[in-house]
Structure 1
Amino acid sequence: MREDIEVDLVVAGAGAAGLMTALRASQNPDLVVAVLEKSTTEGCNAAISSGSLAAGGTRFQRAAGIEDSAQRHTDDILANSGDERHRDLVAALCGVAAGYVHWIADDLGYPLEVGTDMPRKGMSVPRLHADPARAGGGPLITHLRKELADRANVAVLDEAPVTGLRVEDGTVVGVTGRQGRNDLVITAATTVLATDGFAGNRDRMREFCAELGDPFHGGVSTATGDSIGWLRPLGAEFRNMGACLRHGQVTLRGTRINPALPWLGAVLVNRRGERFVDEQAHGYSGLAGVIQAQPDERAVMIWDAEAHETAQHSEMMRESAVAGALQTAPDVATLADSLRLDPRQLAHALRPLPGRRALVGPYHYAWLTHGVLDHPGRGSHRHPRARPAGRRNHRPGTARRRGSGRRPRRGELQRLQLRQRPAVRLRHGLDHRQRDRRRELTASGGTALLAAPFAVLTS
């Protein structure tokens, strides 16, 4: 059965970017929002992440005695990336990050604290924020979805993959999709594509990231880059397609270990018994390339009980333990025998670098390889001839069948799981206050909403 529905805003994808976009939009009393999610079987990449939020200058940091600011956050990022060309963009995102951490904690009621136990390469002070239980991204995404479910102006359509963009006279006017036996034809004043990356698509990875070889894919299989195929026929310009979130702490069981371990004294040793890197010189993403260059593209990370006491309190470590990826050995001799390494060479590899503490048995260890968690393909830009989206005859705050001139009956809305109430009006003809809201929305969840009111918006 075909369902033709018109709304103010349609969002393709109910991951972190799509959910945050819909949540921010639904605060304003003028709009009806529809969110289409491809599959909930595995969830989204944010759901299997650490669930940590980076922000400088939050009240959580101040309460912990940490001096930080948006400026320091910006400087840290650029010192690590070396890309001064985008200072204004980085500064804009860092400038609103603390506000969004507070919004998630205060307005949405999600428990957060600054992760003093979560050091990362490139961060001069602790600025990751996470739930106290370190339960990972799953509970955060569940919380955001529940918030949306409680808003009567938002419909989240699960198991409803978007199948393409609706284009009229060169203008994107919505999307097509499918849910069960229903073909969905959704017309919207604004279309947001928050469809994740393409790390789950081998053909796309070979096209854009052949130099990575064949890394383990640690993200969700539904991240297949569908929107690339929708946007290419429109002449969209793509940038940064070789950038991706690599991970050098992926276990051979497909789980991950706590990225804080190198800062707790953990040591990396290859299959020849060599300590081949300063573990703190790279973040977990940078370590991926280093491990890729090792024999058999693997290495073992070794840490002690003191490090484990701190690192074990994360969902990644809990999952790795359940998967059988974490092992223990009482002393160096036993450890060397388990790893099939020469005991003297291993003892030499475990010697602390200057300024680092020595590891003390018993030891914990895990064999690691390199992987790719996500390939966001940041920066899909509007087609040069794209025009502002929006149907001038559509009244915000209503959902109706296209061409019917009436609001759907109650039963029709229920079939689409679409309920009504207020939200942010995002379409052409915005006044300066609405443009400011759009800029805020742009920074909310990482969705690359264009500042100008063009229809094709993607992450």
Structure 2
Amino acid sequence: MTWDTEVDVAVVGGGACGVMTALRAARDPGRVVAVFEKSAREGCNAAISSGSLAAGGTRFQEAAGIDDSPQRHADDILRASGDEEWRPVVEALCAAAPRVVEWIADTGYPIELGTDMPRAGMTALRLHTDTGRLGGARLMRHLRGLLEARDNAAFVDEAPAVGLMSDGGKVTGVVIAQNGSMQRVRAGAVVLATDGFAADQNLVERHLPHLGTPYYGGVSTSTGDALAWAERLGAQVRNMGAGLRSGLVVVDHGTRVSPALPFNGAVLVNADGERFVDEESKGYSSMAGVLQRQPGERAAMIWDAAAMAATRESEMMRESLAAGAVRDCATLDDLAACLGRTAAETERALTPLPGRRRLTAPYHLAWVTHGLLATQGGLVIDPSGRVLNGAGEPIPGLFAGGGAACGLAGPHSDGYLSGNGLLSAFGMGWIIGGGRGLSPAPARSGRRG
């Protein structure tokens, strides 16, 4: 076998999992790490996310007087997903989460606890965010900047992987397409840190036909390539019918409204003028399925000035407001006109549930529908990130995390809790990059071939 170059760790994908893996692995100055990114210009799901980091038991929670722990965090996730088989992976990720959040903060990134970010399914406030609420793009720029400062790590852009190399069942490297040619990269370990397959319409139709035709809100590079490579080596996949959905996508705009709106009194009213759900009882992923069943697969999210004041500084709300996706209704009659209902019907629909406050004019409205942001099915891994074959044994030299690995939603999209995506990506990157499995490759010869 002729190799074009050699590294100790080859990371496929430069998103949250890939960059965190590389940062951790490159702490060993004698280890050479390369991240091969398909297209930083096209982005990654972490960069278009809110950048919210879920973690239980952080110093930020302690300072705010919030009692939480990694175990409580894991139990919340498993209560929502019902996926007890995945408990060892969930507990490993939740144990890593507070260390990830505090480490990122200690690198100079401005983190605070989102005390204004309640979410369905969470028994404690545990979403951590940047102080400016500028979203995941800011976080990824910061982390990639840290990686650029490492002498023993390289971030290679516009270098999509096209396959794995193996010898006797052991993964020995990866094939990269770059500058019109194929490069064979030998590696002591290969980490699949790609996004999922939500941008591949054929794969979505095969595995998630029950979603219908949702708006797609993810990145174009989520094409599921890594799954096929690993499956050829005998890797298992699971929960392929689960996705990260959103019931907060604004019709005709593609922006989203804040998940905190229902916790500030916002209500959902369908096209028939009916209130059809307890808005606080559903996370934004499970709400997508509820909206899909409504007339026209949409509903009006209605809120007032108090709810607007509590949520408008989030990245999602800023984008929706800037896009003109929110209608202002000064009076109940104006709101009724927007809904196409009578004032009496509208007032009845706004009747608060027991213990909830009543909305008051002026009102704000956005018609929302369901969308798909990312997939949750993927490769079966163990708590250290090793990819497992059909017999439940590790495939030597192969690791996976982020969207390439099975996520935390369980078998159905309804099991997704806010923050699970970045928890899975950053957490597994932290675990893989800091694990003993990434032992240095044999001494490099310093030449090709």
1:445 aligns with 2:427: yes
**SS where residue 117 of structure 1 aligns?**
coil
What are the ranges of 5 or more consecutive residues in structure 1 without an aligned counterpart? 391-440
Quote the residue 2:411 is aligned against.
none
> What is the TM-score of this pair, normalised by structure 1?
0.83
1:389 aligns with 2:371: no
Query: CA deviation digits over 1:161-219, x for unaligned, max 9?
Result: 11111122332111111223343221100000011101111100011111111111111
Quote the residue 1:15 is aligned against.
15
**SS where residue 20 of structure 1 aligns?**
helix
**SS where residue 246 of structure 2 aligns?**
strand
Conserved 8 A contact 2:133-2:315: yes
Cα distance, 1:452 vs structure 2: 9.2
Cα distance, 1:53 vs structure 2: 0.5
Conserved 8 A contact 2:227-2:378: no
Runs of 4+ in 1 over 4 A off after TM superposition: 384-387, 441-444, 447-455
After TM superposition, list the pairs within 5 Å mapping 1:114-125 onto structure 2: 114-125=113-124
Conserved 8 A contact 1:116-1:126: yes
Query: CA deviation digits over 1:34-56, x for unaligned, max 9?
Result: 00111122310011111000111
Cα distance, 1:445 vs structure 2: 3.4
Cα gap change, 1:454/1:204 in structure 2, threshold over 3 Å: closer, same or farther? farther
Cα distance, 1:386 vs structure 2: 6.9
Cα gap change, 1:344/1:362 in structure 2, threshold over 3 Å: closer, same or farther? same
Cα gap change, 1:56/1:445 in structure 2, threshold over 3 Å: closer, same or farther? closer
**SS where residue 48 of structure 1 aligns?**
coil
**AA at the equivalent of 2:88:** D
Cα distance, 1:114 vs structure 2: 0.4
After TM superposition, list the pairs within 5 Å mapping 1:55-454 onto structure 2: 55-106=55-106, 108-252=107-251, 253-380=253-380, 381-383=387-389, 388-389=396-397, 444-447=426-429, 453=437
Cα distance, 1:339 vs structure 2: 2.4
1:47 aligns with 2:43: no
Cα distance, 1:99 vs structure 2: 1.2
Conserved 8 A contact 1:74-1:91: yes
**AA at the equivalent of 2:151:** A
69-78 vs 316-325, which deviates more? 69-78
Cα distance, 1:279 vs structure 2: 0.1
Cα distance, 1:97 vs structure 2: 1.2
Conserved 8 A contact 1:121-1:280: yes
**AA at the equivalent of 2:283:** G
Conserved 8 A contact 1:115-1:126: yes
Cα distance, 1:454 vs structure 2: 9.8
**AA at the equivalent of 2:173:** G
Cα gap change, 1:77/1:388 in structure 2, threshold over 3 Å: closer, same or farther? closer
Cα gap change, 1:54/1:371 in structure 2, threshold over 3 Å: closer, same or farther? same
Query: CA deviation digits over 1:323-357, x for unaligned, max 9?
Result: 22111110111011122222211110111110000
Cα distance, 1:376 vs structure 2: 3.6
CA distance in 1, matches of 2:174, 2:310: 47
Conserved 8 A contact 1:10-1:192: yes
**SS where residue 47 of structure 2 aligns?**
helix
**SS where residue 176 of structure 1 aligns?**
strand
Quote the residue 2:28 is aligned against.
28
73-82 vs 370-379, which deviates more? 73-82
**AA at the equivalent of 1:78:** L
200-209 vs 94-103, which deviates more? 94-103
Query: CA deviation digits over 1:405-427, x for unaligned, max 9?
Result: xxxxxxxxxxxxxxxxxxxxxxx
Conserved 8 A contact 1:55-1:129: yes
Conserved 8 A contact 2:267-2:302: yes
Cα gap change, 1:42/1:324 in structure 2, threshold over 3 Å: closer, same or farther? farther
**AA at the equivalent of 1:111:** P
CA distance in 2, matches of 1:311, 1:255: 15
Cα gap change, 1:119/1:226 in structure 2, threshold over 3 Å: closer, same or farther? same
Query: CA deviation digits over 1:141-165, x for unaligned, max 9?
Result: 1101101011111110111111111
CA distance in 2, matches of 1:233, 1:444: 26
Conserved 8 A contact 2:244-2:372: yes
Conserved 8 A contact 1:240-1:379: no
Q: CA RMSD in A?
A: 2.3
Query: CA deviation digits over 1:124-157, x for unaligned, max 9?
Result: 1210000011111110011011010111111101
Conserved 8 A contact 1:45-1:219: yes
CA distance in 2, matches of 1:138, 1:204: 27
219-228 vs 177-186, which deviates more? 177-186
**AA at the equivalent of 2:285:** S
CA distance in 2, matches of 1:301, 1:17: 34
Conserved 8 A contact 2:100-2:426: yes
Conserved 8 A contact 2:235-2:379: no
Conserved 8 A contact 2:80-2:121: yes
**AA at the equivalent of 2:48:** I
CA distance in 1, matches of 2:231, 2:83: 27
Query: CA deviation digits over 1:103-139, x for unaligned, max 9?
Result: 1111x22110100011001111210000011111110
Cα gap change, 1:230/1:30 in structure 2, threshold over 3 Å: closer, same or farther? same
CA distance in 2, matches of 1:234, 1:83: 26
Conserved 8 A contact 1:386-1:454: no
Query: CA deviation digits over 1:62-119, x for unaligned, max 9?
Result: 111212122222222233233334333322222221111111111x221101000110
**AA at the equivalent of 2:428:** G
Conserved 8 A contact 2:135-2:315: yes
**AA at the equivalent of 2:47:** A
